[in-house]
Amino acid sequence: MSEQELLAEVEQLKTANQNKADLISISAHELRTSLSAVKWLLKMLVDEDFGKLSDEQRSLLERASLSNDRMIALVNDVLTLNHTDDSTINYKIELIDMVQLVDEVVFDFTSEGFKKGVEIVFIKPSERLSVSGDKLRLRVVMQNLLENAIKYSERGSRISIFLTPAGENVQLTVKDSGIGIPPDEQQNIFNKFFRASNAVKKESVGSGLGLYTTKRIIEVHKGTITFETEQGKGTSFMVTLPRAASASAPAQEGV
Amino acid sequence: MKKILIVEDDTFLKNLESSKFTREGFEVMPATTSEDVARLIAQTVPDVVLLDLVLPGVDGFGILEMLKKNESTKHVPIIVFSNLSDEKDVIRAKDAGATEFIVKANYTLDEIAQKIKTIVG
């Protein structure tokens, strides 16, 4: 194959990939419109905006609501994945202050943590820790890890987040004392659509795409993700990302 | 009573929004197109706008621009309320002066009403 043919093929594949991504975006928009209508209506019915309900009616509507929320979570995750998948070419690389990024995400989740009765503690490093990467995608990583930690923690427990230098890398640790991951299911947790049996039991809303997406994003950034877990005791996720020189050297080297 | 201009082309969604926000103590000004918006704001300036993006004719971005150019409405907070959530749409709306960008499917209407109340006081 000549170089010209090869370039033409690459262009064709890029177009095909973009078309797929566009189709997913459009379908998701349409799906969300119907799902919003159902979500709003069910909540108004449960709130008795349209009249009194029997206990049985309420409980059935609440079940419908949960099932609808599960579908919304799936659409959201598919969209995030779509953005991750379609655009490794479109990653916007910049120098990111990790302390600031983690701080922002922790702030966003404070009220969620409060609602679930879970304390979130971020132990900040004494020095500035920067990485070179795509800010929005790395936010997704932090959001997914923290969201999972909150979701699978018990009321009254604590989530600790550590950011530390580790040689040439920056290490981010999100430690919860939640339900943990059953030993025979640990090898599957980064698989697309996989959800651990105890996770499904505790929280029915979830698509099984969060950790898959997280791992993909980290790998694109030439990082790693590992975990330590004990069922019933908790889980720690450790993410390492190549450390970038701070401030004076803007990210020229890419990821 | 605070006045809320709702721009939404889906009749069912608009009816639910109107019903909920009226119940929450707002005066609702419902609109479907940019022409409706132009006609309504010529009569009354709303306290807040809840703006869908995908609309027939002039879309939400066009209406956002129109409201920000108009002397009487340029200070009115505009909440973009859409099921689009691409990074480029969010940035475009914020750059055009939107106060907030809310994904419809992620909130119930009573949660939206609370958000609006914190914005308009």
Q: What is the pLDDT of residue B62?
A: 97
Identify which of B12, B84, B86 has the shortest CB distance to residue A37.
B12
Q: Which residues of A touch B19 (CB under 8 A)?
A: 44, 49
Q: How confident is the model at residue A202 (pLDDT cuts 50, 70, 90)?
A: confident
Q: Which residues of A touch B20 (CB under 8 A)?
A: 40, 44, 49
Q: Sign (positive/negative) of CA torsion A197, A200, A202, A207? A: positive
Q: What is the pLDDT of residue A40?
A: 97
Q: Summarize pLDDT for B92-112 with one digit per residue, the tens.
A: 999 999 999 999 998 999 999
Q: Which residues of A touch B17 (CB under 8 A)?
A: 40
Is the predicted pLDDT of residue A208 greater than 90, yes or no?
no
Tell me which of A23 and A123 has the higher pLDDT.
A123
Percent of chain B with pLDDT over 90: 90
Q: Sign (positive/negative) of CA torsion A120, A125, A126, A130? A: negative
Q: Compute the distance between CA of residue B18 and CA of residue B29 in angstroms, rounded to an integer.
A: 8
CB contact under 8 A, B87 and A83: yes
Which ranges constitute the DSSP H helices of chain A?
A: 3-46, 55-86, 98-116, 135-151, 197-202, 210-220
Q: Summarize pLDDT for A11-29 with one digit per residue, the tens.
A: 888 888 888 888 888 899 9
What is the mean predicted confidence (pLDDT) over A204-212? 83
Q: Summarize pLDDT for B8-67 with one digit per residue, the tens.
A: 999 999 999 999 999 999 999 999 999 999 999 999 999 999 999 999 999 999 999 999
- Indicate yes or no: pTM above 0.95: no
Task: Tell me the shortest Cα–Cα distance from A233 to chain B, in angstroms.
Answer: 31
Is the ipTM beyond the 0.85 threshold?
yes
Q: In chain B, which residue's Cα lies nearest the Cα of A75?
A: B105
What is the mean predicted confidence (pLDDT) over A229-236? 94
CB contact under 8 A, A29 and B19: no
Task: Tell me the shortest Cα–Cα distance from B17 to chain A, in angstroms.
Answer: 9
CB contact under 8 A, A36 and B105: yes
Nearest to A150 by CA among A214, A217, A220, A202: A202
Q: Which residues of B touch A91 (CB under 8 A)?
A: none
Q: Summarize pLDDT for A48-66 with one digit per residue, the tens.
A: 999 999 999 999 999 899 8
Half-sphere exposure of B57 (CA within 13 A, CB side): 10
